[in-house]
Amino acid sequence: MEIKIFKNFFKRVFSNLFNNKKEIKLGFYGPPNAGKTSLANRICKDFTGEEIGTVSKIPHETRSVQFKEKVEISFKGKKMTFKMIDTPGIATKIDYEDFLKFKVSKKDAKNRAKEATQGVIESIKWLDDMDMVVVVLDATENPYNQVNITIIGNLVARKIPVLIVANKIDLKKTDIKKIEAAFPEYEVVGISAKYGDNLEEFYESIFKLSKKV
Amino acid sequence: MTDKKRGLGKIKGFTIQFLPYSEIRDLNSDERIKKILNIILTNNILILQGRLIPTEEARLIGDTMAMVGYVKEFKGIELAVISGNDKEGFFGKMTKGLANAIAGGDFSAMTIIGPATIVKEMKRNPKKIELLLNR
């Protein structure tokens, strides 16, 4: 009897220790140029002082999965540790000629396109490894894009908690209501990763969502 | 099938092919995606009765990306799914979609897939899909 109580006590203590120190794998998914890396950078910079990756106006700037481990986010007296996973944008087509518009050489454009296709494949493979996911959408674009639906459908199928972020609220063309109408079952948080607008609500939602992990 | 046979070089025309769900019902995911890609790679716009399950859609995107750069002139696909009842929202449809997939297909849905060399863009809103073709 005493041994059993002793065992249970240690089990509880170690279980609590483990849970508190557990790193939640937080993925950033979405179509190219929605602002996944900008948002991940903003969070990492705020809490670690370092960025996770480079951002650019050229689509598919992130062409391989990038990590930042042990990112401790503090919000309203609460703390949680995350492994931030920034993924390449998912697209159904990649044409090297699209990169030429950004004054990239033909050779670099072809290389970029090749890496971007690999990036999409890598992003899809990583879906299985996420604890929770932030789907970053460009609030100035039409949300009824099959890529968005496919990403969210795959997260639902894997029972991975999802938060939808409508990025670029600093732009005039922003239409958050359209995103809310497209995904009525999800909480949609409008932010500007570029200027750090409304991040308080974002962190609040992240902490709330982490309870489902 | 060789790249030559697929003829993705200069686009002279295309056909629209309708695929009833019964044609893929008994196929496994690998076979379904192979069948769909074979249709797309021969310059067809595919109209599929029903829809793929989300994991198959992701797999289709992954396999498509693996072909870009390896199949001459292939740049990927344009893809859109439209469902019968939009009042349910996507999640409702997805849940229903998964249940239907087990039962044998969501017949209220329609999937349109075209090669990006032919289809420039598929504009989708809750009520319609518009196909913008490349000239």
Q: Residue-wise pLDDT tens for chain B (135 aa)?
A: 444 455 555 556 789 999 999 999 999 999 999 999 999 999 999 999 999 999 999 999 999 999 998 999 999 999 999 886 555 555 555 555 555 554 445 778 999 999 999 999 999 887 788 999 987
Q: Which two tokens stand for residue B126?
A: 């809750």
The nearest alpha carbon in chain B to A186 belongs to B91
CB spacing of B81 vs A146 below 8 angstroms? yes
Q: Is B76 on the interface with A (CB under 8 A)?
A: yes
* Amino acid B127: pLDDT: 78
Q: Which of A201, A197, A164, A169 is nearest to A182 (CA)?
A: A164
The pair of three-digit structure tokens given for residue B69, joined into one six-digit string: 């750069």
Chain A residues within an 8 Å CB radius of B81: 146, 149
- Of B54, B64, B79, Cβ closest to residue A153: B54
Q: Which residues contact B56 (CB under 8 A, 6 or more apart)?
A: B29, B32, B33
What's the pLDDT score for residue B128? 85
Contacts of B129 (CB under 8 A, 6+ apart): B80, B82, B112, B122, B123
Q: Which residues of chain A have pLDDT under 70?
A: 1-21
Q: Residues of A with CB below 8 A from B80's CB?
A: 146
Report yes or no: A147 at the B interface, CB cutoff 8 Å.
yes
User: d(Cα A54, Cα A30) in Å, to the nearest integer?
Assistant: 16
Q: Using one digit for the tens of pLDDT, what is the confidence trace for B43-75?
A: 999 999 999 999 999 999 999 999 998 999 999
Decide: A171 and A160 in contact? Cβ < 8 Å: no
Q: Residue A117 and residue B57: Cβ atoms within 8 Å?
A: no
pLDDT, position B103: 47
ipTM of the modeled complex: 0.88
Among residues B83, B14, B9, B12, which one has the least CA distance to residue B52? B83
Q: Do the beta carbons of residue A166 and residue A141 sit within 8 Å?
A: no
